[in-house]
Structure 1
């Protein structure tokens, strides 16, 4: 009996102190952009992201508790004979399906007859283990919508259908709006390019898409739109002539789909996260009144800027949600590093993130 009591006490201490350490552990010693965390069936967490020294591909980290992370090395490499992707490997997400692990990722497509500067598409790789090695499912991207796309994300509806969300790049996509007109009037920029988020159904084996893409989210058109101020900061500050709507991460709670997304220049201090909701996986989505739910805190005495491109993971008992995202601090400079903060959805359906936090 004493042994069982001692074991329970040890478990309780580990749980308590892990929670405390976790809350004061930001930023993590992981130099990822676009971080994604999978809680696999083996009971461990696996993190994937952009950068961290990977060559034409992606590295991974593993953890038993979201606090202590072990480098697993490079788990996927493209730009090899037979690859469709040749450069700029970004934003991996990994899903455990039917005993396999499927990675969605963005890269420059080698088929580029007009020599476009941005020729991104989304592809799929598969592995038997979360640490790879991942091999390309096809010698071609998942689909070609006719414009550059990045940041693939999957959700499954209540009927078991699978949907892909992605961001159309800003590249060669100038959009008229009151914000663009104001920027031109003020002499900031002659035109404003935008990225938009689309959704499309995909086959269960991730070999093809079904139907046509549906536009789900875009930056505000009107100056008096309540979302306009925070989603236009990169333009109104004169930083760059682009407005982003990218990095979608979607989950279902009850009968509602929550899509988190990032806005503003991904390389700047104004990068921030909002969300929108819908009763249908292909919309229409309505942006939340409490946006942004995650943003820089330097004006409030903090040290974090550039918070964005998040994913979500859960505690092992499924009770606590965590927001995983990248950001920058005064100490890390331009280097993107990973943060993990608690988040949730309250009884009124309002999504919130308890961050950004940093170690004291």
Structure 2
């Protein structure tokens, strides 16, 4: 079965795109065949069953069904194999699909629905369906590729200079080529994978892709579609591998990044590392600076979201472990750090996880600690940087859609508090901010600083930190995004982009890029303090 589908971004789950069977609304009966787009970020799958859900033989893709754009979804079942296609490209296969469509009601079904589940508790489909096709045979991959919606699709791109796979968006008819730094964008010769019998123009030979260029794909049946192709020198991520929740700072003439080490199921990492750079572009791994196993007596797992501050020649490293916040101290920004021996914050006054600390020292020298998940808090720290008066904890209010990831910065007497919105597993993870005349508010919401750019394949942008280059009014934003390609909420990359302010002091929303930033050194100032 095949259909062109457009899923409304507000679609609730669970839901079916279609369902064919003889089941009652509670799922009992002699089976069904269905497809669902699942959640906003994952769960595209189909299944055939001889009874209720416990008998399902499923086929699923590793990614989800994008929302808000037209996509072709095709599910084939035959000869013991179930195959799922998205825009004519195979995205899932089950070679052990022993149930045949003819097993359902002896080949006769009466409960057949478009946009409605066979289960009464499921949600109705919200969106649009067109060109719905039901076949009496399992189409081959070639036949699926030549369906009208797929015959003009660019299926793949081969190019030696690609740093990561091309980002192909059939819904927007666009292709982004993330090429390695130094590639001449004016002389690229991409080879496009097309449906059988399709052609593309211009074809062959180098083309200038320093600007977006249009290509026309003509299907075997004469259908035409115009695609926009563009290339980007890709200098991100800033750090190799998976790293999230980056805290970026400058000490002396050096920049430092302190991230969560990512890539573990359930965010179960145990080690913190530090990275240093003289120019924001070339980063050096300074190794593990704190390990929850041997270095922290009160926690062994979930090393998340660190932050750091310097005071009196010491460096104070605040970190999450087992949903508590600790602090460790060192004579150097690269450690080794010695834990205080107990959590600084073991629980919140009003519930929610005690996570995501952000330390801020105001122009008077007063340090503050911000943290929270679900509820947001701030407290002034004592001069020792490792204690505070519990009675001085303030619960922050009025932060629109606050989830986690607080960060504070000050510019020209205005205090900028940012935070992350949504779930870090969502491609819509994003950053909002508010301003105030003091570090503790009251705050005025100002909207978003940062959001995804699906056109570039940049998703799940959040948990950011702001950096002012010492001695300048140049600002940068460090944040994480889903890894490219194939990342998710536990496989995230750290990157950096430029942050700018309007004349009225509000922040211009950051444009996520693949290029990241150009080198910028810290100006040499007489009497500058260098880190130990």
What is the distance in 1 between the residues matched to 2:343 and 2:487?
A: 37
3-state SS of the aligned residue for 2:408? strand
Counterpart for residue 383 of structure 2: 204
Distance 1:208 1:316, change over 3 A: closer
Is 1:32 aligned to 2:243, yes or no? yes
Counterpart for residue 245 of structure 1: 403
TM-score w.r.t. length of structure 2: 0.49
Counterpart for residue 49 of structure 1: 259
3-state SS of the aligned residue for 2:307? strand
- Is this contact kept in 1: 2:324–2:343, CA < 8 A? no
- Greater relative contact order (CA < 8 Å, ≥ 6 in sequence): 1
3-state SS of the aligned residue for 1:45? strand
Is 1:339 aligned to 2:499, yes or no? no
Matches within 5 A, 1:222-261: 231=401, 244-261=402-419
Counterpart for residue 78 of structure 1: 292
Distance 1:259 1:50, change over 3 A: same
What is the distance in 2 between the residues matched to 1:145 and 1:196?
A: 8
Shift of residue 47, structure 1, vs aligned partner: 1.1
List alignment gaps of at least 5 residues for structure 2. 1-181, 183-232, 517-532
- Is this contact kept in 1: 2:254–2:276, CA < 8 A? yes
Counterpart for residue 336 of structure 2: 133
- Is this contact kept in 2: 1:143–1:209, CA < 8 A? no
- Is this contact kept in 2: 1:304–1:327, CA < 8 A? yes
Shift of residue 332, structure 1, vs aligned partner: 4.5
Matches within 5 A, 1:155-166: 155-166=360-371
Shift of residue 331, structure 1, vs aligned partner: 1.3
What is the distance in 2 between the residues matched to 1:326 and 1:252?
A: 22
Between Structure 1 and Structure 2, whose CA radius of gyration is higher?
Answer: 2
3-state SS of the aligned residue for 2:357? strand
1:261-312 superposed Cα distances (whole Å, 9 cap, x missing partner): 1100111101001100111221111111xx22210111xx221010000012
Give the number of aligned pairs: 276
- Is this contact kept in 2: 1:303–1:329, CA < 8 A? no
- Is this contact kept in 1: 2:309–2:360, CA < 8 A? no
What is the distance in 2 between the residues matched to 1:349 and 1:81?
A: 43
Counterpart for residue 65 of structure 1: 279
Counterpart for residue 303 of structure 1: 457
Shift of residue 353, structure 1, vs aligned partner: 4.1
Distance 1:87 1:352, change over 3 A: same
What is the distance in 2 between the residues matched to 1:339 and 1:82?
A: 29
Q: Specify which of 316, 320, 325 is matched with residue 122 of structure 1.
A: 325
Shift of residue 143, structure 1, vs aligned partner: 5.7
3-state SS of the aligned residue for 2:498? strand
Question: Which of 83-92 and 303-312 deviates more?
Answer: 83-92
3-state SS of the aligned residue for 2:393? strand
Shift of residue 67, structure 1, vs aligned partner: 0.5
What is the distance in 1 between the residues matched to 2:296 and 2:358?
A: 24
- Is this contact kept in 1: 2:360–2:367, CA < 8 A? yes
Q: Specify which of 254, 269, 280 is matched with residue 438 of structure 2.
A: 280
Matches within 5 A, 1:172-187: none
Shift of residue 157, structure 1, vs aligned partner: 3.0
What is the distance in 2 between the residues matched to 1:216 and 1:296?
A: 26
List alignment gaps of at least 5 residues for structure 1. 1-16, 18-22, 109-119, 170-194, 221-230, 232-243
What is the distance in 2 between the residues matched to 1:318 and 1:83?
A: 41
Of Structure 1 and Structure 2, the greater helix share is in 1
- Is this contact kept in 1: 2:269–2:302, CA < 8 A? no
Distance 1:51 1:315, change over 3 A: same
What is the distance in 1 between the residues matched to 2:376 and 2:311?
A: 25
Counterpart for residue 474 of structure 2: 320
- Is this contact kept in 2: 1:278–1:286, CA < 8 A? yes
3-state SS of the aligned residue for 2:343? coil
Provide runs of 4+ in structure 1 moved above 6 Å.
Answer: none
- Is this contact kept in 2: 1:341–1:353, CA < 8 A? no
Distance 1:137 1:248, change over 3 A: same
